[in-house]
Chain A
Amino acid sequence: MNNKLFFSLTIIGTFLMLALLFSQNQVVDAEPGVQESSSIDMNQTAITYLKTLLVGTKSDKGKESIESKIQALEYKENIQASAMLSPQKSLEEVCKSILVEETNASKQLKSDLPEGILEVQDDFLGEEGYLINTLWRGEYGGYDVEIYAGSLFQDEQKGLVILNIPALSFFKVFYDPEPEGSLRISQADGYRLHLSTASGTTRYFDIPAQQFTSELAKSLSVVDLPPAPTPIMDPCSSFRTP
């Protein structure tokens, strides 16, 4: 073999090896990738796994912790296994028991919350990163609408309003285009909200246009609301009619 051929083969071989090494694909497709079938009981899989680990556990606290975990999973397994021995409820039976549950349920929250401008605690949307001080609640476009005003938690200079239409799963944040700190709803002219800052300046938020404006009387284009989501049918509806 001459030098030229030797180096050529070496380089080609090296590239092939590197390609194999860095490939994300299986080199030899001897077995399919591990994937637990949904027919496998997840609980039982976890129990088996933990029991194999228990054998090698030396410390008392480690053993105690893992034995307790296994005990809880086995309890669940036993409950499920016992329940499997009984005949399963049909849809009709489930629906009938739901009707009984409904009459037993004591708390019925209705959508008759107070409307207008309301004070709220600043932690109202704290976990989501917003410091809210006031809200406006009313009806627009046939839907219950809430507007929250305040600022970003991480940057209180960034004033904002949030438009929330629960029935449409619509939750949108609008940042003050000329940020001057937290915004507060001070007044509502129809669907145009007056928003004041700590420094005393005012801007407006138009609900139909979904935007800020610096002028109270300025005409703005209406933005269409998103379509209502397809209602979920109640599987028990046919069993509800007397």
Chain B
Amino acid sequence: MKPHYRIILSMLILVSMLGAFFANFSLVSSQTEPPYHTYLPLILKNVIPNPPTYFSTTWYVTLGMLQTTSTGLRNIYYKGVQAGYLTAPAGKQDQLVILHFGRPRKVDSQIGTRVYLDTSGEVTSINDIIIYTKDFINGYMAGALANNDTESKLELGIGTSNLNWDYLAEGICLGYFCTTEDAYNHGKAWAQMVITLNDWVVTSGYAARVSVAGATDIELSWNSAKITHAWVDGFDDYDQGKFIYYNFGTCEGCDIGINLSVPPDPNKDLTGDWTHAKVHYSAWGVPPAWPIPEIYLNNTYNANQWANISKVGVMLDYVPIYFFSPLSQYQACLGSDDPSCPYTDNTPQEAWIQLYKAINTRPETAQNYIPYMTDIDWP
């Protein structure tokens, strides 16, 4: 090779390498104030931070969890104690926990839910849920203090869902939770319950440590957007502008890939009357909503779906979604025969990393850190 060809080739290779090298790197600058010192350029690849060092356990609330034990205390109290023990050894470890009380139910005039494994056909009323939640919080406070923890905080979501069984099984909503009036009133009652519980937290002297939010497992195949939006609007109208709910649901049918060239279509038809924009509304658009999305799938699709929902929001002039936590189901899948578990059993750390990576793929949906991890389990 002639010398001048060699020089040209060398320069081309060098320029290409530098271009490739800087494409995914950012400059390190730890200086915030002048006088600035100039150094040789140091380069740093985008770094994935470490997930939190611990995770909390979110619970499916079963009938057995509400039963009284031989000690005279209900099992749910001991679940609270267990949550308080998360802080062992003593240290500040804030946690976000959801108690999933099951699908909405109404029997006679009593609004509430049907807790898991309850075959009775009865309702677990709002008043009952308040009592059981107090049990859990009492257990948490006792457990944490017994562990000499006087600092850690519990953010507790009281969960229901948008499920109507006939809608899921047959595609036709039958019975309770099929009218906007039913759903609106349930959302209203849920917000009022959250207010009652927070008032009790304050009067009990727990407010420095505990706060209560609503929560709902919104799944697109479980009910229509119309009914689901009625629930979130009912909550929004009665939350006094002070209380929030966590949407710990799914986004089935939402775009599963992150395409940097073609953004997701806000009006894309998903299941039933759902669109990307309608998912965004119930997860972030409506003021009290904060998503704790199910990031179950090992293949990152769930994480990508929620990153796309955040992008849809940005396209609709909302700010990007702030995710407090992903929800995984690693513990629920341990030893489970659920045929979907082999590919939906992300660990909390895997779920966290997937969500972090997905939302940080686009600068406009980026979030510096996701503060919590929570993992659902059966008692």
Cβ contact within 8 Å between B241 and A72 = yes
For A36, give the chain B residue with the smallest CB separation: B369
**Complex formed: what's the CA distance from A164 to B60 in Å?**
15
Cβ contact within 8 Å between B45 and A27 = yes
Interface flags, A76-91, vs B, CB<8A=1, else 0:
1001101110101111
Cβ contact within 8 Å between A69 and B142 = no
Contact for A45 among B66, B243, B371, CB less than 8 A: B371
With A72-B242, A235-B142 known to touch, is A17 a contact of B17 (CB < 8 Å)?
yes
Cβ contact within 8 Å between A88 and B319 = no
* Interface size, chain B (Cβ < 8 Å): 105
**Complex formed: what's the CA distance from A121 to B119 in Å?**
8
Q: Which A residues are in CB contact (< 8 Å) with B43? A: 27-28
Cβ contact within 8 Å between A232 and B82 = yes
**Does residue A222 face the partner (Cβ distance < 8 Å to B)?**
no
**Does residue B270 face the partner (Cβ distance < 8 Å to A)?**
no
With A30-B28, A33-B49 known to touch, is A65 a contact of B318 (CB < 8 Å)?
yes
**Complex formed: what's the CA distance from A101 to B153 in Å?**
21
5 contacts between A and B (CB under 8 A): A34-B368, A65-B318, A68-B288, A129-B338, A234-B77
**Complex formed: what's the CA distance from A113 to B117 in Å?**
12
**Does residue B260 face the partner (Cβ distance < 8 Å to A)?**
no
Cβ contact within 8 Å between A72 and B287 = yes
**Does residue A95 face the partner (Cβ distance < 8 Å to B)?**
yes
**Does residue B89 face the partner (Cβ distance < 8 Å to A)?**
no
**Does residue B305 face the partner (Cβ distance < 8 Å to A)?**
no
Cβ contact within 8 Å between B369 and A106 = no
Cβ contact within 8 Å between A57 and B317 = yes
Interface flags, A107-140, vs B, CB<8A=1, else 0:
1111101000010110111111100000100000
Tell me the chain B residues, 77-100 only, with Cβ under 8 Å from chain A: 77-78, 81-82, 84-85, 91-94
For A144, give the chain B residue with the smallest CB separation: B64
For B320, give the chain A residue with the smallest CB separation: A53
5 nearest A-B pairs in the assembled complex, by CB-CB distance = A68-B287, A235-B146, A59-B317, A83-B207, A166-B64
**Complex formed: what's the CA distance from A75 to B198 in Å?**
12
**Does residue A39 face the partner (Cβ distance < 8 Å to B)?**
yes
**Complex formed: what's the CA distance from A58 to B319 in Å?**
10
**Does residue B107 face the partner (Cβ distance < 8 Å to A)?**
no
**Does residue B168 face the partner (Cβ distance < 8 Å to A)?**
yes
Tell me the chain A residues, 136-181 only, with Cβ under 8 Å from chain B: 146, 152-154, 164, 166-167, 169, 171-173
Cβ contact within 8 Å between B44 and A65 = no
With A94-B141, A105-B131 known to touch, is A82 a contact of B44 (CB < 8 Å)?
no
**Complex formed: what's the CA distance from A68 to B106 in Å?**
31
For A82, give the chain B residue with the smallest CB separation: B207
For B207, give the chain A residue with the smallest CB separation: A83
**Does residue A187 face the partner (Cβ distance < 8 Å to B)?**
no
**Does residue A23 face the partner (Cβ distance < 8 Å to B)?**
yes
Cβ contact within 8 Å between B202 and A234 = no
For B82, give the chain A residue with the smallest CB separation: A232
With A38-B93, A42-B94 known to touch, is A101 a contact of B138 (CB < 8 Å)?
yes
**Complex formed: what's the CA distance from A46 to B322 in Å?**
8
Interface centre among A58, A108, A164, A236 (most CB of B within 10 A): A236
**Complex formed: what's the CA distance from A222 to B135 in Å?**
38
**Complex formed: what's the CA distance from A53 to B367 in Å?**
11
Cβ contact within 8 Å between A34 and B47 = yes
For B287, give the chain A residue with the smallest CB separation: A68
**Does residue B13 face the partner (Cβ distance < 8 Å to A)?**
yes
Cβ contact within 8 Å between A110 and B21 = no
Cβ contact within 8 Å between B145 and A102 = no
Q: Which A residues are in CB contact (< 8 Å) with B52? A: 35-36, 38
For A129, give the chain B residue with the smallest CB separation: B338
Cβ contact within 8 Å between B318 and A6 = no
CB distance from A55 to the nearest CB of B (A): 10
Cβ contact within 8 Å between B337 and A173 = yes
Cβ contact within 8 Å between A21 and B138 = no
Cβ contact within 8 Å between A69 and B369 = no
Cβ contact within 8 Å between B47 and A26 = yes
Q: Which B residues are in CB contact (< 8 Å) with A108? A: 68
Q: Which A residues are in CB contact (< 8 Å) with B155? A: 42
**Does residue A190 face the partner (Cβ distance < 8 Å to B)?**
no
Interface flags, B232-244, vs A, CB<8A=1, else 0:
0000000101111
Interface flags, B149-171, vs A, CB<8A=1, else 0:
01001010000010101001100
**Does residue A188 face the partner (Cβ distance < 8 Å to B)?**
no
**Complex formed: what's the CA distance from A195 to B217 in Å?**
34
Cβ contact within 8 Å between B73 and A79 = no
**Complex formed: what's the CA distance from A107 to B243 in Å?**
27
**Complex formed: what's the CA distance from A164 to B336 in Å?**
12
Cβ contact within 8 Å between A94 and B145 = yes
Tell me the chain A residues, 167-212 only, with Cβ under 8 Å from chain B: 167, 169, 171-173
Cβ contact within 8 Å between B63 and A109 = yes
Contact for B169 among A62, A65, A84, A123, CB less than 8 A: A123
Cβ contact within 8 Å between A128 and B338 = yes
Q: Which B residues are in CB contact (< 8 Å) with A220? A: none
Cβ contact within 8 Å between A34 and B49 = yes
Contact for B142 among A28, A98, A129, CB less than 8 A: A98
Cβ contact within 8 Å between B103 and A172 = no
**Complex formed: what's the CA distance from A89 to B210 in Å?**
13
**Complex formed: what's the CA distance from A76 to B323 in Å?**
18
